[in-house]
């Protein structure tokens, strides 16, 4: 199912225009998203677990995948489909060994990190940030499209892209090899989340059709 993902919404407190996360989640799912990541940096395990329980119920109803950022124990305890890990979290190989049934996503900020994550057994690798972003503190500068064009052909595992991505960037991202587009504020801070998700999915499909043709 992960290979069929197009838009990949990442929902995080503080980036929802004051709306509650569960409310934004429902809108994202109504828009047709097939995957959602819950990202609650710095929250307690109990807080993340409580929100993950709500997310699991809604994503189950919608037939969508649920990925938990950082918290492997919560992902396992709440029956999520996967966990997304950064460089400072549980090592990828350790997570894969402990939870072989989970989708294990890995952040990468360079060619070397992307290839290392794949070798460690990551189910998918995230490449980013591609553009300047305020939603993630990353010591590395934005990678840009040239880095994406270089890294994408090297990976055998599926990959996502993230970091400052707007709908207008999608055609050039698809042309560079990306088909799974992770977004935070472009979706969660939209006035009409349902229409935004639908529009992004349509843009990805149109760009892919153009590439195929």
Q: pLDDT at position 139, please?
A: 64
pLDDT along the chain (213 residues), means of 10: 95 96 98 98 97 98 98 98 96 97 97 98 97 72 95 97 96 96 98 98 95 62
Q: Per-domain residue ranges for the chain?
A: 2-212
Q: Give pLDDT, residue 132.
A: 87
- H or E segment at 89? none
Helices (H), the chain: 21-30, 45-62, 72-77, 92-98, 111-119, 144-151, 170-175, 185-188, 193-212
pTM of the model: 0.96
CATH superfamily, region 2-212: Aldolase class I (3.20.20.70)
What's residue 213's pLDDT? 55
Give me the residue label for tokens 């349509």. Answer: 202
Active site residues: 39, 107, 136
């Amino acid at each position: 199912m992960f290979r069929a993902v197009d838009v990949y919404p990442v929902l995080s407190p503080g980036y929802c225009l004051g709306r509650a996360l569960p409310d934004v989640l429902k809108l994202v799912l109504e828009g047709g998203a097939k995957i959602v990541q819950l990202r609650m940096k710095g929250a307690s395990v109990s807080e993340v677990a409580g929100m993950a329980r709500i997310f699991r119920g809604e994503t189950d109803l919608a037939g969508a995948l649920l990925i938990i950022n950082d918290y492997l124990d919560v992902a396992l305890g709440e029956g999520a489909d996967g966990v997304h890990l950064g460089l400072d979290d549980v090592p990828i190989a350790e997570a894969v060994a402990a939870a072989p049934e989970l989708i294990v996503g890995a952040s990468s900020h360079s060619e070397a990190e992307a290839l290392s994550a794949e070798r460690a057994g990551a189910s998918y690798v995230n490449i980013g940030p591609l553009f300047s972003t305020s939603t993630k503190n990353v010591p590395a500068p934005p990678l840009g499209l040239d880095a994406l064009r270089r890294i994408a052909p090297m990976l055998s595992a599926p990959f996502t892209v993230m970091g400052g991505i707007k709908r207008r960037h999608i055609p050039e991202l698809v042309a560079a090899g990306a088909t799974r587009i992770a977004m935070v504020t472009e979706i969660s801070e939209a006035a009409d989340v349902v229409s935004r998700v639908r529009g992004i999915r349509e843009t990805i499909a149109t760009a892919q059709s153009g590439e195929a043709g």
